[in-house]
Structure 1
């Protein structure tokens, strides 16, 4: 059981890195509108978006963006990052507790 929990923790950690990568790409695209990835980065970014799209799109449907004047703030990615961080903490706690 302990091995499964540590594998789950590692998977959540990798997913956190993917979500942070998506956040960076979305920020770059919002500030540099003409930027288009080239070469191998296209494949990497496509994989990142493919793996992170389902939960992000689901939350975007459930929670609309927050209107702050002329700016719309999308909270879905932040909520998913918080949920994954909580999942990592819970998984780590149970993995350490079951290993004793």
Structure 2
């Protein structure tokens, strides 16, 4: 596997974990107000705002799920491009 593809894949996976952490922080009172919580929100919220058109269903916000699925699709697409170009 190309080193560039590996770095891209790892960065996407890291970002997915940050999205998951951001979603889990909403379950714990005060977690979002910690310095780590504020940093994660600052990093993740601009991307999650792209999916703000998805309305909560029954009080559950599914925009992080759609955001993660979009990142997974992008990662798969990048891998396919690398394979198509013969860079892997």
The answer as to 2:62 corresponding to 1:91 is no
Aligned equivalent of 1:54 = 46
Conserved 8 A contact 2:20-2:64: no
Residue 50 of structure 2: SS of its match in structure 1? Answer: helix
Q: Cα deviations across residues 14-45 of structure 1 (Å, max 9, x unaligned)?
A: 1011011112112x23xxxxx324xxx81211
Aligned match of 2:16: 16
Higher relative contact order (CA 8 A, sep 6+): 1
1:68-79 map, 5 Å = 71-79=58-66
1:6–1:91 Cα contact (<8 Å) kept: no
Please tell me the root mean square deviation across aligned C-alpha atoms, in Å: 2.2
Return the structure number with greater strand share: 1
Structure 2: give runs of 5+ residues left out of the alignment: none
Paired with 1:10 and 1:54, the residues of 2 have a C-alpha distance of: 20
User: In structure 2, what is the equivalent of residue 36 of structure 1?
Assistant: 30
Tell me which protein shows more helix as a share of its residues: 1
Q: TM-score, normalised by structure 2?
A: 0.75
CA distance in 2, matches of 1:3, 1:19: 24
Gaps in structure 1 of 5+ consecutive residues: 30-34
